[in-house]
Amino acid sequence: MKLRIALALATLLLTSCSTVVNGVSTDRVEAVAGKVPATCEIPAVVSAFATQVPGSKFVPTHWQPSPKTDLEAALNNQGIACTYGIQVAEIGGTILWASNSKNVWDERKQSWIDAGETPINLPGIEETAAYILQDGTSADEMHVWRINLLIRGVWIQVGASFLQNLDEALAIIKASIAAIDY
């Protein structure tokens, strides 16, 4: 009798994790929402920057965002902005992480398109959407490189002047994504 009750409970538990539609069983799979990191001192992110710019560290910054900027939008949406690099050499980059719970992604997207960002599919990353800005073509001019991506309910922006292409940035992008689980 105990065995039958145990089997019945096990069956009930297993079947409650799936749905049957037109005779076809489909498992319920929900993406686990990410969360904005609580701190900028994330070893994997610092390490990813140091791979590109040896000696990089987290650079504490007192932000004073201008109105209607990505920085303001991020900080007003449970976000955090973190700069990494070598402060005395003024080499580095900034990552913004923000919750998309108030749909900040759609509010900011047109400004990125207007600034010349284009849609991109990131290799090996299952983002909801991403936009990239690559500007500057010679060693004599300041290079601008930025990517905005939405993944698991978190908007992440990675920007740096030292990056030349997506391949150089992938380790930093992946570390910034891993940080939403940190």
- Structural contact between residues 153 and 180, judged by C-beta atoms closer than 8 angstroms: no
- pLDDT score at 125: 95
- Structural contact between residues 84 and 59, judged by C-beta atoms closer than 8 angstroms: yes
How many angstroms separate the CA atoms of 135 and 34, rounded?
30
How many angstroms separate the CA atoms of 150 and 121, rounded?
11
- pLDDT score at 136: 55
- Report the predicted TM-score, pTM, of the whole model to 2 decimal places: 0.79
Question: DSSP letter string over 129-179?
Answer: EEEEEEE--STTS--EEEEEEEETTEEEEEEESS--SHHHHHHHHHHHHHG
Q: Where are the domains of the chain?
A: 43-181
* Closest C-alpha to 165, from 142, 148, 144: 144
* Closest C-alpha to 77, from 96, 107, 99, 97: 99
CA 70 to chain centroid: 14
Q: In tens digits, what is the pLDDT along the chain, a chain of 182 residues? A: 333 333 333 333 223 333 333 333 333 333 457 899 999 999 999 999 999 999 999 999 999 999 999 999 999 999 999 999 998 888 899 999 999 999 999 999 999 999 999 999 999 999 999 999 987 545 545 567 899 999 999 999 999 988 888 999 999 999 999 999 86
- pLDDT score at 14: 29
- Structural contact between residues 149 and 97, judged by C-beta atoms closer than 8 angstroms: no
Distances (CA, A) of 35 to 131, 175, 176: 20, 14, 11
Residue 60: beta bridge partners? none
- pLDDT score at 16: 33
Q: Are strands 118-119 and 129-135 parallel, antiparallel or unpaired?
A: antiparallel
Pair of tokens at residue 144? 């601008």
- Structural contact between residues 153 and 179, judged by C-beta atoms closer than 8 angstroms: no
- pLDDT score at 33: 73
- pLDDT score at 133: 92
